[in-house]
Amino acid sequence: MKNVLIAGVMLVTSLTFAQEVKPKLEVVDQMVKATYYYENGQVKQEGYYLDGKLHGKWVAFNEDGTKQSMGEYNKGAKSGKWFFWSDASLSEVDFSDSRIAEVKKWSKDVLVKN
């Protein structure tokens, strides 16, 4: 447990060395939950580390608080469905072993019916 925390803190520290706003780190179920912030106080990214590698759900936000991307890591590798939002569209990207397997894109002009 202690090794997980130390590895996570070291990794987060090295990734955020250039950032002025320090991340919030906390231990949750043998993982390190990291929350990164913009200078305006809004959450920039939030996710988990396991044994020093990105693991589990990660979410990124724009400075205004709108969601930018969301997806899952499995021991450092992107996996499953990731979603990327922009002003004009939503992209769904399927990953397999951190490689893009399929991409789908939707325009905000298209209405989705149930």
Q: For the chain, what are the domain ranges? A: 2-107
Query: What is the per-residue pLDDT for 107?
Result: 85
Q: Name the pTM for this structure.
A: 0.73
Cα atoms in the 13 Å half-sphere on the side-chain side of 38: 11
2-107: what CATH class?
Answer: mainly beta
Give me the tens of pLDDT residue by residue for the chain, a chain 114 residues long: 444 444 444 555 555 444 468 999 999 999 999 999 999 999 999 999 999 999 999 999 999 999 999 999 999 999 999 999 998 899 999 998 779 999 999 887 765 554
pLDDT of residue 77: 92
Indicate the SS3 state at residue 106: strand
Question: Residue 54: in which H helix or E strand, if any?
Answer: strand 53-54
Per-residue confidence (pLDDT) for residue 58, from 0 to 100: 97
